[in-house]
Amino acid sequence: MRGTLTTIRLLVLAVVAVSHAAGAPAFAASFTWNGPKIATSSTFAGGQQTWNNSANWTGDASGTFPNGAEDVAQIRVNWGASPTLNLNQQITLKTLSIGDSATLYYPVTVAAGSGGSLVFSSTTGTTTITKNNSINGTASTELRSDIVSAGMSLLSEVFENRIQNTTGIGRLTFSGNVSAGSAGLKTIVHASSATGSGLSYINYAGVISDGSGQIGITVSPASAGAIPFRLTGTANSFSGPVTILTQSVQAFPLTGTTGALGSGTLQLGNTVATGSSATLSLGGSLETVTERNPIVVPDGSSGTRRIEVINVYGADNTWGGIYTSGNRILSGVMDVQNSGGVTLACSGTSSLTFSNAIRGTGPITISSTGSGKVIFSGAGSTHSGTVTIRSRELQLAGGSALAASAIVPLAGGTMTLTPALQATVGGLAPNAGGLVDVGSGYVTVSAGLPVADMLTALLAGRGDGTWTGTSGITSTVAAANLTASIPRTVGWLDNGGGSVTFAYAAPGDTNLDWTVDILDAANFLAGGKFDSGTPATWNEGDFGYDGVVDILDAADFLSTGLFDNGAYNGASGAAPLTAVPEPSATSAVAAMAAAVAWQSLIRRRKRHA
């Protein structure tokens, strides 16, 4: 029996020895960098260094180096110059602590070397990369930027990265590609607990793909500080969820038109009762970039939720070194579920377009500081909340983009339409202080806008007759036409049932179909309002907004040269050249003129009888 036990012990020792010789310890161990030092100094030498050399490490397992599923590698030591640690083989870890522990900070790089890569794996908990910048007495503007350029494969369900206790500009960049190394969802959790400079960030600059499983991203409530999570990869294809529970995610692909956020559902904000603000910032490439994610703004936290296009940041016109000016398109459905709603903003000239349906009941606020537009171009929207324009411009580029929403333009806010668009909105408050510029388009308000309120807004926008008012309902296209001596205006209809319509129009287009024809002449005559002095509508011939139909309205009708001449509102919004009427049209105009004269004569005779 004693001989048998001795044999078993020898076999175990042999297995351990072979494992150590291969560089893969059979048990969890902690290692600290102990490589070459600068002569006559206690600081470690920088330059090219070798990871897979046991002589460069001290720790729980002597004679080897960190390369095990539960291993911890500490390379946050006192560096005397910037090092590059070359892996040279596949290295498996649970935890990596990176940085410089001294007052004078030297950036650290973990590189692939010759065929190397990182695998993060643990059966006992979360895998982690931690960067700590906590050094007293250094300038708050000091740049402390570390890089992991080796590719990474994630085997554990949670991979957490964090920056802690930043006193300078703390940056941690993953420039290698990242993917799941096994089946199932692997979540990259951003959980920094630092504030630091506004130029601090964690950045994934390589390609993030699903690999053998699925990759998702979560910005955790544990992020007590303000270190943003940045994505600058130009070909990210991961399909897992992007969950912004708090703080900021910056989608900044450096080039091209492919978005950085993958294709999974993006959740903006926390679902619990408490929680801080959540922001999605878009920027980077100078081209127009499309992000594909469905967006959910869930009910729960009272914190603000914000989606913004960033153009510039800081006095040097950069966002942490990235110039940003391309337009951004969000092509997924957005569902605004929470009572606090979501704020949409453009800080410069770039636009923010929602090209799919908008749903939910939560409020939407437009609060831009730049000239860029927030554009809604999707179809089939069912969003029934309010859309408040606090500043700058909201543009409708789809007829049903906000078909059930109530739009409220406040002072400083403007609603516009793309050329010749025929749009429907659920409600409209045109007298709230802002401006509704119908351009060359057509707007139907389903409910909530009384005719009297619409007329108040139209008169405010009409101003002195030039349609250059600064509030209410106006048309910059009509104003430009009038400047060119082309008679154009804004017409209106009471559709009944609480619905009203207003549109760019020519005088005489009584039914707002963008043609002037025999139907319009019939409406003008059938109303019987000419020279009667009784209140009249646009459909009955009041084209001058004085409340009655008189010789001035008849003159407006007859002077446009559009009768029976086809459509006058091209897709560009420009007025067509007026052709000479054909004989049939001339006859019709003459007949109408005669009818007007006859009605006038009859009314005068009645008054003198």
Assess contact for 395 and 419: CB atoms under 8 A: no
Residue type, 183: A
Q: 524 φ, ψ to 5°? A: -60, -40
Candidates 129, 268, 140, 136; CA nearest to 198 is 140
Q: What whole-number distance in Å separates Cα of residue 334 and Cα of residue 329?
A: 12
161 has pLDDT over 70: yes
Dihedral, 318, 322, 323, 327 alpha carbons, nearest 10 = -120
- C-alpha–C-alpha distance, residues 528 and 534, integer Å: 10
Neighbours of 263 (CB within 10 A): 18
What are 520-548's pLDDT values in tens digits? Answer: 999 999 888 888 889 999 999 999 999 99
Q: Which of 14-28, 216-230, 349-363, 445-459 has the lowest mean pLDDT?
A: 14-28
Between CA 408 and CA 541 the distance in angstroms is: 30
Please state, in angstroms and as integers, the Cα–Cα distance from residue 253 to each residue in 205, 305, 484, following that order: 8, 22, 45
pLDDT computed for residue 585 by the predictor: 45
Beta strands 229-231 and 201-204, pairing class: parallel
| pLDDT given at position 590 | 52
pLDDT at position 257, please?
93
Whole-number pLDDT of residue 303: 79
Better-predicted residue by pLDDT, 194 or 262: 262
Burial of 94 (0-12, 13-18, 19+ CB in 10 A): buried
Note the pLDDT of residue 16.
37
Note if the pTM is more than 0.75: yes
Q: What is the pLDDT of residue 133?
A: 66
Q: Which residue has the higher pLDDT, 404 or 2?
A: 404
Name the pLDDT band for 277 (thresholds 50, 70, 90): confident
Whether 596 shows a pLDDT value over 80: the answer reads no
pLDDT band for position 273 (cuts 50, 70, 90):
low
pLDDT in tens, 13-62: 343 344 433 444 446 899 999 999 998 888 999 999 999 999 999 998 88
Amino acid at 158: V
Three-class SS state of 410: strand
What's the confidence (pLDDT) of residue 51?
Answer: 98
Average pLDDT for 482-501: 97
Q: Is the pLDDT of residue 2 over 70?
A: no
What's the half-sphere exposure (Cβ side, CA atoms, 13 Å) at 232? 21
Q: What are the residues whose beta carbons fall under 8 Å from the beta carbon of 39, sequence distance 6 or more?
A: none
Per-residue pLDDT at 103: 78
SS3 591: helix
How does pLDDT run across 64-118, given as a tens digit for each residue?
999 999 999 999 999 999 999 999 999 999 999 999 888 788 999 999 999 999 9
What does the H/E/C string look like for 49-90? EECCCHHHEEECCCCCCCCCCCCEEEEEECECCCEEEECCCE
Selected residue with higher pLDDT from 338 and 275: 338
Q: Residues 6 or more apart from 186 whose CB is under 8 A from it?
A: 154, 155, 156, 157, 158, 159, 180, 213, 214, 215, 216, 240
Confidence of residue 221 (pLDDT cuts 50, 70, 90): low
Does the pLDDT of residue 141 top 80, yes or no?
A: no
In eight-state DSSP terms, residue 139 is: -
397-428: pLDDT as tens digits: 999 999 999 999 999 999 999 999 999 999 99
- State what percent of residues in the chain have pLDDT above 70: 82
Mean pLDDT of the region 187-212:
84
Residue 266 has pLDDT above 70, yes or no: yes
- pLDDT of 102 reads 83
